Amino acid sequence: MKDLKPIIKSLLHSKMAPLLIILQVAVTFTILVNSIYLMVEKHADINNPSGLAEESLFSFQMSINGEDMDEKVANLYRDLESIRALESVAEVTTVSSIPLSHRGGGFEIRLDPNESGYITKAAFFTGGHQIIETMELNLIAGEGFSLIDEGVMSTFLADRAVGIVITKALAQELYPEDWHKALGKTVYLNQSPQTIRGIVEHMVGPWSFWPQKNNNVIYPTIFIMGDMNVLVKAHKGQREKSMRDVVELLMQDPSRYIDELKSMSELKETAYQAQNAAYTTLQAVILGLSLITMLGVFGQARFTVLKRRKQIGTMRALGASRVEIIRYFTLENAFITACGIAIGVILTILANNLIVEHFALSPVPVPYIIYGGVIIFIAGLVAVIQPSIKASNVSPAEATRSV
């Protein structure tokens, strides 16, 4: 472009102001790109599919009576049958871990019991044989459980070789080349061997903040604890009524207590509270950075117009039109912004390498660098519109005035 050479000469003449804007744009770009990437990851995290019938499920803890193990088991089964008989209840089961409750346990997963390390970790869900139906999980391979598979235990172990159902996410970690290969294979939960008899599509674990929250194992055994976790699936549209019905039924026993009665929607909202706050904060950071960049470019362009009124007047006197003046200043600030973005790309790559190395995060994908560049460039163009129009209105008579 014919204007580019005089623009570069002009910028070299007044080095400090353009240099400060370039540095501001570069630093802003670096922070902006990483903020956009983190915001998108938070959004994906919050909207991670649970795989559960969220609108129908609720959970609670309840005490069980009994002097010994046999009496406790008998009383528990009686309570579960009473709950299942309620008209508003579709299904019920006990669970050792409640999804998104931030309470639960898990195991290290191995394919070889003799290997010193482990492939990954997974949360461990025990419960009655109806656990998959109660959660309304989508079984995409293999088979689920039947009454004959159900057992009872008082120690958190997986020592009954009845087989397990795992999530697709866990199957993909075990067999990255083809998750279908996991079906029928033997895995070791710590050191306990279990055959994978089924795979469900999605299921969120107890901890929303855990990187492996989609790695879950389901085991058809009722784990007897001091306070039992119970998961209830209500009939469609009857969750609130079902919650009232269950409480009314169980509280007929004066020695009973119930705690942590929450719908799955409430559990999800509470679990992702921190992620939602971080998402909102990142939105504010991105908006703030865009505005700061716009203000910086606006201030630089306005200062340039005020400082070079006589030069602009000379250009007008030599026949430059208003459109050409607007084009000149728009191009000048576009050039400054582009230089800042170019330096920002380098800083972003360097900063991201440090983040990946020290915090074990995934690198920022190239598209985010492009998106950040587009946002900063558009913000710069918008900011320069008013000063450019002001410059185009400078009269040719300014050329004859003394400074």
The predicted-structure confidence for 286-298, as pLDDT tens digits, reads as follows: 888 778 777 777 7
Is the model's pLDDT at 30 over the cut of 90?
no
- Greater pLDDT, 345 or 196: 196
**Is the pLDDT score of 48 beyond 70?**
yes
Q: What is the pLDDT of residue 359?
A: 59
Question: 27 Cβ partners below 8 Å, 6+ apart?
Answer: 344, 347
* pLDDT for the residue 358: 65
Could you report how far apart the first and last alpha carbons of the chain are, in Å?
A: 30
- Does 242 score more than 90 pLDDT? yes
Q: Which residue has the higher pLDDT, 12 or 146?
A: 146
More confident residue, 246 or 377: 246
Highest mean pLDDT among 70-79, 276-285, 324-333: 70-79
Q: What value does the mean pLDDT take over residues 152-156?
A: 86
Q: What is the mean pLDDT of the chain?
A: 85
Label residue 200 by pLDDT band (50, 70, 90).
very high
Which SS3 state, helix, strand or coil, does residue 216 take? strand
Task: Give the pLDDT confidence score for residue 6 in this predicted structure.
Answer: 58
Looking at per-residue confidence, does 65 or 76 come out higher?
Answer: 76
**pLDDT tens per residue, range 341-366:** 888 888 888 877 776 676 556 677 88
Segment among 26-30, 54-58, 89-93 with least mean pLDDT: 26-30
Q: What are the pLDDT digits (tens) for 354-403?
A: 766 765 566 778 888 888 888 888 877 887 787 778 777 777 765 556 54
d(C-alpha 293, C-alpha 372), whole Å: 12
Question: Which is more confident, 304 or 142?
Answer: 142
DSSP H or E run through 26: helix 16-46
Does position 312 have pLDDT exceeding 80, yes or no?
Answer: no
pTM: 0.75
Q: In this predicted model, what pLDDT tens digit does every residue of 89-110 receive, in sequence order? A: 999 999 998 999 988 888 999 9
- 300 has a pLDDT exceeding 60: yes
Distances in whole angstroms, Cα of residue 70 to Cα of each of 77, 115, 223, 357, 383: 11, 38, 13, 53, 76
What is residue 354's predicted lDDT score, i.e. its pLDDT?
76
Higher pLDDT, 7 or 193: 193
Rg (CA), the chain: 32
Per the document, the length of the chain is 403
Higher-scoring residue by pLDDT: 228, 21: 228
pLDDT > 70: percent of the chain? 89
Whether the CB-CB separation of 195 and 100 falls below 8 Å is answered with: no
What's residue 154's pLDDT? 83
Asked if residue 231 lies in contact with residue 134, where contact means CB atoms within 8 angstroms, the answer is yes
pLDDT at 285 exceeding the cut of 50: yes
Q: What is the DSSP string of 112-155?
A: STT-SS-SEEEEEEEB-TTHHHHHT--EEEE----GGG-EEESS
- pLDDT at residue 403, as a whole number: 47
